């Protein structure tokens, strides 16, 4: 799936929101590699001090449990924080692509709609 600059910007916004990161901590026009490095640092901190919250975030973001387990295993060729950051970034880029290409039409005023 090709990634446009808009997809990357939306993925960045999703990552900042989902991980509770203040916008000022990251350069507004960071490259994908800069974003990956920044996210890897955040994940390393979460692994050390808040693993439960990290795992909960990964579950909520629908990152594959099998891929997460491999990223955390000794068999993974990359450090866990970098491997997990790649998984999160790829998932968020996929979400951004989906949001952009499959937008729901405005349903208008729903007042009076009884359930």
Is residue 113 a part of any domain in this protein? no
Residue 109 domain-assigned (yes or no): no
Q: How far apart are the first and last CA of the chain?
A: 39
Asked whether residue 88 is domain-assigned, the answer is yes
Residue 52 belongs to some domain of the structure:
yes
115 located within any domain? no
pLDDT digits (tens, 9 = 90+) for 36-57: 998 999 999 999 999 999 999 9
Nearest-10 Cα torsion for 51, 53, 55, 57: -150
Domain presence at residue 114 = no
pLDDT tens-digit series, residues 72-105: 999 999 999 999 999 999 998 888 888 777 877 7
Do residues 67 and 80 make contact, with C-beta atoms less than 8 angstroms apart? no
This prediction has a pTM of 0.77
Number of domains forming the structure of the chain: 1
Residue 111 placed within a domain: no
Domain containing 39 equals 5-101
Are 85 and 43 in contact by the 8 Å Cβ rule? The answer is yes
């Amino acid at each position: 799936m090709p990634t446009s600059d808009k997809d990357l910007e939306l993925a960045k916004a999703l990552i900042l929101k989902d991980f509770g990161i203040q916008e000022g901590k990251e350069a507004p026009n960071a490259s994908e590699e800069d974003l990956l490095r920044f996210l890897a640092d955040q994940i390393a901190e979460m692994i050390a001090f808040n693993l439960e919250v990290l795992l909960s975030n990964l579950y909520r973001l629908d990152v594959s449990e099998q891929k997460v387990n491999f990223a955390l295993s000794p068999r993974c060729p990359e450090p866990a924080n970098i491997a997990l950051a790649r998984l999160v970034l790829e998932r968020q880029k996929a979400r951004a692509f989906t949001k952009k290409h499959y937008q729901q039409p405005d349903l208008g005023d729903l007042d009076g709609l009884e359930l």
